[in-house]
Amino acid sequence: MSVQSTHPLKPEAPGLPPGIPESPSCQRRHTLPASEFRCLTPEDAVSAFEIEREAFISVLGICPLYLDEIRHFLTLCPELSLGWFEEGCLVAFIIGSLWDKERLMQESLTLHRPGGHIAHLHVLAVHRAFRQQGRGPILLWRYLHHLGSQPAVHRAALMCEDTLVPFYERFSFHTVGPCAITVGSLTFTELHCSLRGHPFLRRNSGC
């Protein structure tokens, strides 16, 4: 993959599944957009890390990605990220990379495989001031729609704690078994989602 694009992608807004609220208004101000979704760039790395650090360190004691790793992925594959901005400020984001094996492995935490067809979702994080507002589900739905528009990406994969499995099942992820990746004493469940024939590809824009 090449370095960052000078024109970040702006994924089309998909319709949302039942039970998930619509996104904020699509109206735009004369200066900064009131609410905008776009792929991240390396310049967004510090803001993303600050959100992630606050969200994960207090709960797990670790971050899925540290600052250098965020910069690494946003340089190699910015098109596999998606950020939600409010008046120019990042409030939620997802960062992914490509993987070329059937299951996630320890090295998939730090590698991007350009020839792969699986999008590995490394992290989904929401700023503390914007939590409990349904932003996580909206962002994930838009991200899957964005991935579905990329012909090379056939499937999404992630690992999570058992308590989060029902959340991801709402988006057609299914459990494939215990994940081979461990972080210290933490263990995870691996989930996959096929991007072929997924309901979001048949829905119209919600904006």
Q: pLDDT, tens digit, for every residue of 100-113?
A: 999 999 999 999 99
Catalytic residue at 186?
A: no
Of 122, 127, 145, 146, which is the active-site residue? Answer: 122
**Measured distance CA(156)–CA(151) in Å, rounded:** 13
Catalytic residue at 97?
A: yes
Res 1 pLDDT > 50 = no
pLDDT in tens, 119-160: 999 999 999 999 999 999 999 999 999 999 999 999 999 999
Catalytic residue at 174?
A: no
Q: Which helix (H) or strand (E) holds 48?
A: helix 45-60
Q: What's the alpha-carbon Rg for the chain, to the nearest Å?
A: 16
How far out from the chain centre does Cα 132 lie? Answer: 18
Q: How many CB atoms lie within 10 A of CB 22?
A: 13
C-alpha distance from residue 47 to each of 25, 104, 153, 156, 203 (Å)? 23, 27, 27, 25, 32
pLDDT of the residue at 57? 82
Of 9, 67, 109, 111, which is the active-site residue? Answer: 111
Q: pTM of the predicted model, to two decimals?
A: 0.81
Q: Which residue has the higher pLDDT, 33 or 166?
A: 166
Of 23, 139, 168, 172, which is the active-site residue? Answer: 168
Average pLDDT, the chain: 84
Res 64 pLDDT > 70 = yes
Q: List the beta strands (DSSP E) in the chain.
A: 35-38, 81-86, 89-99, 118-126, 155-160, 174-178, 189-194
Are 15 and 204 within 8 A, CB to CB? yes
C-alpha distance from residue 137 to each of 67, 87, 131 (Å)? 24, 20, 11
Q: Give the pLDDT mean for 162-188.
A: 94
Of 47, 97, 108, 172, which is the active-site residue? Answer: 97
pLDDT in tens, 153-163: 999 999 999 99
pLDDT in tens, 6-29: 333 444 444 455 554 444 433 444
Q: Which helix (H) or strand (E) holds 75?
A: helix 67-76
Res 204 pLDDT > 50 = no
Of 124, 139, 140, 144, which is the active-site residue? Answer: 124
Q: Domains of the chain by range and CATH?
A: 35-194 (3.40.630.30)
Catalytic residue at 111?
A: yes
Largest CA distance in the chain: 50
